[in-house]
Amino acid sequence: MSEKWMPDDQETLTSAEALYGAPANDTPQPKVTVLNTPPISPTTLPRTDMLRPPPPPTAAHQSAARERMRRRRVSSRRGGEWAWVVIAGTLFSVVVVISMSVFVMLRAAQAQEAVVPTAAVILPTPVDARDLTINGTPVDGQQLTMADGRSIILTPWDGTSRFTVLVVGLDRRPGETGLAYRTDTMMLVSIDPATKTLGLLSIPRDLYVEVPGYSELQRVNSPMVLGELRQPGYGPELMKQTVQYNLGIRVHDYVAVDFNTFITIVDAIGGVDLDVPYAISDPQFPNMNYGYDPFYIKAGLQHLDGITALKYARTRHGDNDFQRAERQQQVLYAIRDKVLSLDMLPQMVVQAPTIWSAIQEGMSTGLTFDQIIQLVWYLKDIPSENIKTGVINERFTIGYSTPQGASVLVPDRARMGELMVEVFGANYSE
Q: Are residues 337 and 261 part of one domain?
A: yes
Task: Note whether residue 126 is domain-resident.
Answer: no
Q: Are residues 142 and 91 part of one domain?
A: no
Tell me what pLDDT residue 366 has: 93
Tell me what pLDDT residue 372 has: 86
* pLDDT level of residue 327 (50, 70, 90 thresholds): very high
Tell me what pLDDT residue 17 has: 40
Across 110-137, average pLDDT = 37
Across 290-301, average pLDDT = 91
Task: Note whether residue 124 is domain-resident.
Answer: no
Q: Are residues 163 and 221 part of one domain?
A: yes
* pLDDT level of residue 122 (50, 70, 90 thresholds): very low
Task: Note whether residue 216 is domain-resident.
Answer: yes
Task: Note whether residue 122 is domain-resident.
Answer: no
Q: Are residues 74 and 42 part of one domain?
A: no
Question: 3-state SS string over the chain?
Answer: CCCCCCCCCCECCCCHHHHHCCCCCCCCCCCCECCCCCCCCHHHCCCHHHHCCCCCCCHHHHHHHHHHHHHHHHHHHHHHHHHHHHHHHHHHHHHHHHHHHHHHHHHHHHHHHCCCCCCCCCCCCCCCHHHHEECCEECCCCEEECCCCCEEECCCCCCCCCEEEEEEEECCCCCCCCCCCCEEEEEEEEEECCCCEEEEEEECCCEEECCCCCCCCEECCCHHHHHHHHCCCCHHHHHHHHHHHHHCCCCCEEEEECHHHHHHHHHHCCCEEEEECCCEEECCCECCCCCECCEEECCEEEEECHHHHHHHHHCCCCCCHHHHHHHHHHHHHHHHHHHHHCCCHHHHHHCHHHHHHHHHHHEEECCCHHHHHHHHHHHCCCCHHHEEEEECCCCCEEEEECCCCCEEEEECHHHHHHHHHHHHCCCCCC
Tell me what pLDDT residue 26 has: 47
Task: Note whether residue 430 is domain-resident.
Answer: no
* pLDDT level of residue 173 (50, 70, 90 thresholds): confident
Q: Are residues 137 and 1 part of one domain?
A: no
Tell me what pLDDT residue 352 has: 73
| Residue 100 in this model has a pLDDT that exceeds 60 | no
Tell me what pLDDT residue 289 has: 81
| Residue 59 in this model has a pLDDT that exceeds 60 | no
Tell me what pLDDT residue 12 has: 39
Q: Are residues 194 and 52 part of one domain?
A: no
Task: Note whether residue 119 is domain-resident.
Answer: no
pLDDT (tens digit per residue) in 183-193: 989 999 999 99
pLDDT (tens digit per residue) in 369-398: 888 888 888 888 899 899 999 999 999 999
- State percent of the chain over pLDDT 70: 65
Tell me what pLDDT residue 124 has: 31
The domain tally of the chain equals 3
Q: Are residues 75 and 12 part of one domain?
A: no
Across 147-175, average pLDDT = 83
Tell me what pLDDT residue 65 has: 54
Find the range with the poorest average confidence among 103-117, 208-222, 398-412: 103-117
Q: Are residues 145 and 74 part of one domain?
A: no
Task: Note whether residue 413 is domain-resident.
Answer: yes
* pLDDT level of residue 165 (50, 70, 90 thresholds): very high
Structural domain for 376, as ranges: 131-424
- CATH number for the domain including 286? 3.40.630.190
User: Which of the listed ranges 50-54, 245-249, 281-285 does the model predict with the highest average pLDDT?
Assistant: 245-249
- State percent of the chain over pLDDT 90: 43
* pLDDT level of residue 157 (50, 70, 90 thresholds): confident
Across 32-47, average pLDDT = 44
| Residue 254 in this model has a pLDDT that exceeds 70 | yes
Q: Are residues 415 and 356 part of one domain?
A: yes
| Residue 212 in this model has a pLDDT that exceeds 80 | yes
| Residue 200 in this model has a pLDDT that exceeds 50 | yes
Average pLDDT, the chain: 75
Report which of residues 18 and 38 the model is more confident about.
38
Q: Are residues 229 and 331 part of one domain?
A: yes
Q: Are residues 298 and 351 part of one domain?
A: yes
Across 419-423, average pLDDT = 96
Task: Note whether residue 258 is domain-resident.
Answer: yes
Q: Are residues 71 and 187 part of one domain?
A: no
Tell me what pLDDT residue 214 has: 94
* pLDDT level of residue 5 (50, 70, 90 thresholds): very low
